[in-house]
Amino acid sequence: TTTTTTTTSALATAAAKKFKEQDFPTLSPDALDAVVEDMRNGKDKFSMTDAMCIISGATVLFSREPNVCRVYSHEDEDGFVTVVGDIHGQLEDLLHLLKLCGMPSEKNIYVFNGDLVDRGGNGCEVVLLILAMKLQHPQFVHVNRGNHEDPHINIFGGFEEECLKKYDHGVFQAFHECFRWFPICTIVNDHAFVCHGGPPMEPDGTLVSVKWLEQIQKGPSFFESKSARRLTMKRRKKKMLRKMRMEEEREGHGVVAGSNSNVGQKTEPEDDDDDNDDDDDDD
């Protein structure tokens, strides 16, 4: 444990130093190799300081990336792009993969296609190691967002509980602040479309164009302010009630669905005041 803490502290210090000097986080190969070796020897614990530093640096990197990333294998015949499917917190699988295929490099590019956490017991270590590799090799490590990079699923899938056991809820929130910047998909050599869950489709079954995907704005954090969440829910409620009223009027009833006291009367949707609902909101 002492060895890992010392190594990852050096890793975090290096990242912080480079971030200040170049406004671009990076890591030394020796530090990352030492962390991988420690993990293979069963010393897989990152300190709170190291975890937050790695997550923060990676968040900066992903926030600068587009929603659709393009990667190209090295021109030589020995250049590879390795696409990795769901890891789901299985650290041993990730370490075995790195031993089998080698660490990221110009000729060995990795694309992790989402679902890094939940189910397995080492989601924190899996993500932190991948983010650390991203910091060391920003151009050679790419991560798509899967459905398990979502706080609602993590609450039931086990990742939230794992974060609380090993760190605290602040680290869980920091992970998701990073997750929300993950790209939607990666295009390899202009031929292979890599996206978790398959390519998006229109309601009529036609594929959504890549240009449309590139224009999608990355959404706000789930952990936004309580007032912002309340305002969003109020707007959704008003929109839903307005739609219901219009449908009833088209049918000739003029009745707001769900209202028994105003049968036969046209009723405007109420702008409910949710200011007194703070006790019911989950932070």
CA 198 to chain centre: 17
Nearest CA among 105, 112, 185 for reference residue 142:
112
Q: Among candidates 161, 147, 156, 128, which has minimal Cα distance to 56?
A: 128
The residues with which 81 forms a beta bridge, in sequence order, are 109
State which amino acid sits at residue 185: C
10 Å CB burial of residue 247 (0-12, 13-18, 19+) is exposed
Tokens 């920003």 belong to which residue? 138
Active site residue 148: yes
Catalytic residue among 88, 142, 148, 196: 148
Tokens of 2: 């002492």
Q: Which residues contact 50 (CB under 8 A, 6 or more apart)?
A: 5, 8, 9, 11, 12, 128
The catalytic site residues sit at: 148
